[in-house]
Amino acid sequence: MRVQVVDSHTGGEPTRLVISGGPDLGGGSVRDRLARFRQSHDRFRSGVVNEPRGNDAIVGALLCEPVDPTCQTGVIFFNNVGYLGMCGHGTIGLVATLAHLGKIQPGTLNIETPVGVVSAESHGAGFATVRNIPAYRHAKDVTVTVEGHGPVTGDVAWGGNWFYLTKGESPIELSLRNLEELTSLTWRIRQALVRENVTGKDGGEIDHIELFSKPKDSTAHSRNFVLCPGKSYDRSPCGTGTSAKMACLYADSLLRPGDIWRQESITGSIFEGHITLQGKQIIPFVKGSAFVTAQSELVFDDRDDFCWGIPN
Ligand code: PYC
């Protein structure tokens, strides 16, 4: 089996877009097709993003035909352990890749995702602004007891995935030399949320944890460390995480519609965000840039014991 992919990175965070050779997921909405992907083709997910072809940081993206008539394409995002509702850095990577392939011109693209329709405005030169699905804060000031650390307080918010956004300054400096400690602390926060039954709406699992500190870049408002579901960290400031952050800031009257929020990542890359209101709904916009890094063909040979990846 041969699968055509284009790799890109958005603020350091990689995306591998499958442009042909993916599984036939049948008809129905992108949400229905995600259910079929998960149920019947999960080994394809693992084979594309896990070692030996990939690594823990890569987010995969499978292009699909949209059913929503307002959309030009559909996409399902996945990672080393499962599937994402939405992915901001991945959407910016998708736009840069489609532009690289000559499939889109600067302008706006509507995209069907499993959690709703998003749009992306391509500005050229790899820059794009994503208009995300509505974000909101689900719970404020939730305190959990973290093993080996003590109490931690944060907000639970939705930005296309579920986030726990810790309050105040990170107890560990947000620096690349502290990755092991940052990963350990955020992983233990995630375990504490599970132990204490803290979830998103309808029991949604909180699988992204954010720590914050003052930024290093004087033009940014905040720096973050984002733990992703499969224990890797987001090299970018995280588009869905920045959406969740802006929803919390708005709820605390710290961000008004139209105000610019510049979120710096642990690697120093920056997303520029703002929100608008649609009735009572908070609509997040996140701008960043992506670069294509490779265009290749993945080969899957069933005789290979590691054909479908080394599972996490
Ligand atoms: O940019 O939304 C994002 C994202 C989610 C997980 C990794 N990146």
Q: pLDDT tens digit string along 235-273?
A: 999 999 999 999 999 999 999 999 999 999 999 999 999
Name the residue of 9, 77, 89, 271 to mutate for ligand 1: max ligand atoms within 8 A of Cβ.
89
Burial class (CB in 10 A: 0-12, 13-18, 19+), 74: buried
* Global pTM value: 0.97
d(CA 134, CA 14): 25
Task: State the pLDDT at residue 133.
Answer: 98
- Cβ-Cβ contacts under 8 Å for 276 (sequence gap 6 or more): 257, 258, 283, 285
Q: Residue 165: is its pLDDT beyond 90?
A: yes
State if residue 155 touches ligand 1 by the CB under 6 angstroms criterion. no
| Calpha distance 259→80 (Å, rounded) | 35
pLDDT tens for each residue of 108-147 = 999 999 999 999 999 999 999 999 999 999 999 999 999 9
The percent of residues above 90 in pLDDT, for the chain, comes to: 98
Q: Which residues are catalytic?
A: 87, 238
Nearest CA to ligand 1 atom 5: 87
Closest CA to 260 of 279, 287, 240, 282: 287
13: Cβ below 6 Å to ligand 1? yes
Is pLDDT at 282 greater than 90 in this prediction?
Answer: yes
* Of 74, 71, 77, the residue nearest 63 (C-alpha): 74
Cβ atoms of residues 186 and 192 within 8 Å: no
pLDDT greater than 90 at residue 312: no
pLDDT at position 23 is: 96
Distance 257 CA to ligand 1 centre (A): 23
The pLDDT score that the predictor gives to residue 306 is 97
Which of 10, 91, 235, 238 gets mutated to test ligand 1 (max ligand atoms within 8 A of its CB)?
A: 238
**Percent of the chain's residues with pLDDT above 70:** 100
- Tens digits of residue pLDDT in 94-112: 999 999 999 998 899 999 9
Q: Whose CA is nearest to atom 8 of ligand 1?
A: 238
Mean pLDDT (whole number) for 196-210: 97
CA angle 112, 249, 124 (to 5 degrees): 45
* The pLDDT of residue 96: 97
Q: Which atom belonging to ligand 1 lies closest to the Cα atom of 159?
A: 2
pLDDT at 279: 97
- 237: three-class secondary structure by DSSP: coil
Pocket flag, ligand 1, residue 228 (CB < 6 Å): yes
Mean pLDDT for 197-213 is 97
pLDDT digits (tens, 9 = 90+) for 48-63: 999 999 999 999 999 9
Q: Does residue 286 have its Cβ closer than 6 Å to ligand 1?
A: no
